[in-house]
């Protein structure tokens, strides 16, 4: 356990990363709560569901893709169900399992929330970086996730199907916006 201390340059990077870790989630959350009355996590749940076939996913799978524990997800979905953002129904093939499906209200909420959320992400992240830095950030993210999420459960979601859109769940294409 004789790990060397961090040198100045490493420390510089770490301190900044730590600060971002502390501040950014709050900023994103605040905007969504204020403008759409949902959590960033709830937004993410809606987004993930909206990407799934039939807009339906088993709880376990949904938990994995959102990096939630099952208990946490269960609680969250219970609340979301109350607001009719999602629906829960037993899985026909496996009677232990439960499916979560994006409800109409959830889809609408997501669509309405998306633009503001994207704007916030742009404002706080993307637009503050050069194009080069954006790519560097992606590579750095890959490196970190190799440790944090070896299975790639979190990041694979959107990159899997190779589309120009992703986290932002597509309102803007498809039936919306009359594009």
Partner DNA sequence: CAGAATCGGTTGTCGCGACAACCATCATAA
Partner DNA sequence: TTATGATGGTTGTCGCGACAACCGATTCTG
**Part in contact with a second copy (CB under 8 A); list of ranges 51-59, 85-93, 105-113, 138-146:** 138-146
Number of C-beta neighbours around residue 174 at 10 A: 12
58, 118, 124, 145: residue in contact with DNA (rule CB under 7 A): 58
**Residue 126 near a second copy by CB under 8 A:** yes
**Part in contact with DNA (CB under 7 A); list of ranges 5-13, 68-76, 123-131, 164-172:** 68-76
Out of DNA, a second copy, none, which partner does residue 1 contact, by CB within 5 to 8 A per kind? a second copy
**Residue 70 near DNA by CB under 7 A:** yes
**Residue 96 near DNA by CB under 7 A:** yes
**Residue 41 near DNA by CB under 7 A:** yes
Beta bridge partners of residue 20, listed in sequence order: none
**Residue 60 near DNA by CB under 7 A:** yes
Q: Which residues of 50-77 are buried (b: 16+ CB within 10 A; e: fewer)?
A: bbbeebbbbbebbbbbbebeeeebeebb
Residue 42 three-state SS = helix
Number of C-beta neighbours around residue 101 at 10 A: 15
CA torsion through residues 171, 174, 177, 179, sign: positive
Q: How far is the C-alpha of 61 from the C-alpha of 67, rounded, in Å?
A: 10
**Residue 59 near DNA by CB under 7 A:** yes
**Residue 76 near DNA by CB under 7 A:** yes
Out of DNA, a second copy, none, which partner does residue 144 contact, by CB within 5 to 8 A per kind? a second copy
Distance (Å) of CA 31 to CA 11, 38, 42, 116, 168: 31, 9, 13, 8, 15
**Residue 52 near a second copy by CB under 8 A:** no
Residue where the block lists tokens 């199907």: 161
Residues 57-76 that bind a second copy (CB under 8 A): 67
Of the candidates 110, 114, 138, 142, which has an alpha carbon nearest to the alpha carbon of residue 126? Answer: 138
**Part in contact with DNA (CB under 7 A); list of ranges 88-96, 103-111, 131-139, 150-158:** 88-96
Q: Which residues bind DNA (CB under 7 A)?
A: 26, 30, 33, 39, 41, 58-60, 63, 68-79, 88, 91, 94-99
């Amino acid at each position: 356990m004789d790990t060397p201390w961090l040198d100045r340059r490493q420390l510089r990077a770490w301190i900044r990363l730590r600060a971002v870790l502390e501040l950014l989630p709050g900023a994103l959350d605040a905007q969504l709560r204020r403008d759409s009355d949902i959590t960033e996590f709830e937004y993410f749940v809606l987004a993930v569901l909206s990407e799934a076939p039939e807009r339906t996913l088993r709880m376990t799978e949904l938990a994995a893709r959102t990096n939630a524990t099952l208990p946490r997800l269960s609680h969250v979905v219970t609340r979301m169900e109350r607001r009719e953002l999602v629906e829960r129904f037993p899985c026909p093939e496996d009677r232990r399992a439960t499916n979560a499906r994006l409800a109409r209200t959830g889809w609408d909420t997501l669509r309405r929330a998306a633009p503001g959320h994207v704007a916030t992400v742009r404002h706080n992240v993307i637009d503050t970086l050069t194009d080069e830095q954006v790519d560097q950030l992606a590579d750095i993210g890959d490196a970190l996730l190799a440790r944090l999420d070896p299975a790639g459960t979190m990041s694979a979601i959107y990159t899997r199907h190779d589309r120009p859109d992703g986290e932002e769940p597509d309102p803007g294409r498809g039936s919306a916006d009359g594009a």
